[in-house]
Amino acid sequence: MYDFELVKPASLAEAVKAMGDDGAQALAGGQTLVPTMKQRLASPERLVSLTGIAELQGVSAAEGRVTIGAATCHADVAAKAAAHYPGLAALAGQIGDPAVRNRGTIGGSLANNDPSACYPAAALGSGATIVTNTRDIAADDYFQGMFATALEEGEIITAVRFPVPQAAGYVKFAQPASRFALVGVFVARFADGVRVAVTGASNNGVFRWAEAEAALSGDFSADAVTGLTVPADDMIADLHGSAEYRAHLVGVMTARAVRAAG
Amino acid sequence: MTKVTMTVNGKTVSADTEGRTLLSSFLRDGLGMTGTHIGCDTSQCGACLVHVDGKAVKSCSVFAQEVAGAQVRTIEGMANADGSLSVIQQAFQDHHGLQCGFCTPGMVMSAAALLAENPKPTEHEVRHYLEGNLCRCTGYHNIVKAVLAASGQDVSGLGVAAE
Ligand SMILES: Cc1cc2nc3c(=O)[nH]c(=O)nc-3n(C[C@H](O)[C@H](O)[C@H](O)COP(=O)(O)OP(=O)(O)OC[C@H]3O[C@@H](n4cnc5c(N)ncnc54)[C@H](O)[C@@H]3O)c2cc1C
Ligand code: FES
Ligand code: FES
């Protein structure tokens, strides 16, 4: 790993300042960034550690919403969001393994936007708002393809705000070695309709499945999506599964997510 | 260089670090505590697993400066005060929960974290919890057996691989 300067700001204001210089990059749980730096795929000159900043930690609920500080680790979301948004807590509890969940954060996961990551499905499927140090970004505008997001250089995610649906479920077909989603589907039923977000499947990253949303908004049952298919054209194909296999799994996982939502 | 102080297995220790000094190398190279193993060095295998403030973490993916002031526990801190093996370590020996032993420090630390959270886990819960610890030798069965035995449960029925 190349050498760099590690800074540990105590407040968001200090972190924003430290991120202002060229070559500065945010460090959250390090579960993705540290291995990436060891492979020399990233070589920041300064790492700005966010995990010690109290304002970026914690889970709070008010007026039908749950707000999660960006530096909250997956294990804390699994434990602390359970009473407010069980579908989201259950997703956090399925990420990686216990040690990954003790370090990895929601902000790091959303900033990275790995095409096989779990949180992007929850954020898009819930219609969440990504809150940064400068603005609020709707999930529908935030995800811009594999590893691409609406974040600007130096912008820091501070929190993620989730509207709490009437029911929600996430089911992933875990890639057995990494436990990332080979395909994962998040389904959320709101008073005004159903949202369905698919991760792990597409070359363009997480996406909403409009046909399933329409079918489930009329009839929220696993039967409602039986027979619906997504085209295999844009699906990821690798040694773990072909494009056709992933397209098939999208239908299967959607039905299971609806059953999990109850 | 920045001096980092933390508590390792109950003793206060300090060493000079660079920003890029990993907790794993602080322990191994800085303190000469080589019980914490480096397998993959990319947060996949769990051989480097230690406890930081009671929580299981992969020390190859945490910088030493990030955990300044923390309470760290490593495999060197697992034996009883008189030097005899702890219940978990003894169970690994009794049930052949290791062959080459490379994964064992991480497995023991993971098992200790599990049993602290969940003193009587089911076989399924043990397998699920140990997902982040890879073993290339044992096929896991005897590791699971050792962890169940360490929790005080009867493992005499677990003779052959159940999964
Ligand atoms: C063995 C293993 C298994 C895993 N399994 C899964 C899984 O099943 N599902 C899943 O979804 N993920 C999985 N992950 C990924 C894990 O959830 C990571 O924690 C996550 O992708 C990155 O979060 P982090 O906090 O570690 O971020 P870091 O690695 O610290 O940072 C990642 C990126 O985000 C940027 N960043 C971090 N925080 C912010 C912020 N607040 N604002 C702006 N930019 C920021 C960093 O600069 C960096 O570019 C796994 C990882 C490992 C090692
Ligand atoms: S060496 Fe740290 S997880 Fe493999
Ligand atoms: S005993 Fe050899 S890797 Fe587990």
Contacts B62 to A, Cβ<8 Å:
30, 34, 103
Contacts A47 to B, Cβ<8 Å:
19, 63
- Sheet containing A136-138, strands listed edge to edge, beginning at the edge strand earlier in sequence: A59-62, A65-69, A157-163, A129-132, A136-138
Instruction: Say whether pLDDT at A184 is over 60.
Output: yes
For ligand 1, say whether the CB of A107 is within 6 Å of any of its atoms: yes
HEC string for A61-116: EECCEEEEECCCEHHHHHHHCCCCCHHHHHHHCCCCCHHHHHHCEHHHHHHHCCCC
- Report residue B158's pLDDT band, with 50, 70 and 90 as the boundaries: confident
Considering every ligand atom shown, identify the ligand nearest to the alpha carbon of residue B141 and give its number. Answer: 3
User: Which of A34, A40, A172, A175 is the best residue to mutate to test the B interface, defined by the most B CB atoms within 10 Å of its own CB?
Assistant: A34
B64-80 pLDDT, tens digit each:
999 999 999 999 999 99
**Fold of the domain built from segment(s) B2-77:** Ubiquitin-like (UB roll) (3.10.20)
Q: Do B61 and A179 touch (CB under 8 A)?
A: no
Instruction: Say whether pLDDT at A59 is over 60.
Output: yes
Residue ranges and CATH numbers for the domains of chain A are 5-49 (3.30.43.10), 54-163 (3.30.465.10), 167-261 (3.30.390.50)
For ligand 1, say whether the CB of A137 is within 6 Å of any of its atoms: no
A-B CB pairs within 8 A amount to: 76
Q: Percent of chain A beyond pLDDT 70?
A: 100
For ligand 3, say whether the CB of B47 is within 6 Å of any of its atoms: no
For ligand 1, say whether the CB of A150 is within 6 Å of any of its atoms: no
The domain locations on chain B are 2-77, 87-150
Indicate the pTM of the whole model: 0.96
CATH number for the region B87-150 comes to 1.10.150.120
- The beta-strand segments (E) located in chain A are 5-7, 24-27, 46-49, 59-62, 65-69, 129-132, 136-138, 157-163, 167-174, 181-190, 193-199, 207-208
- Give me the interface pTM, i.e. the ipTM: 0.95
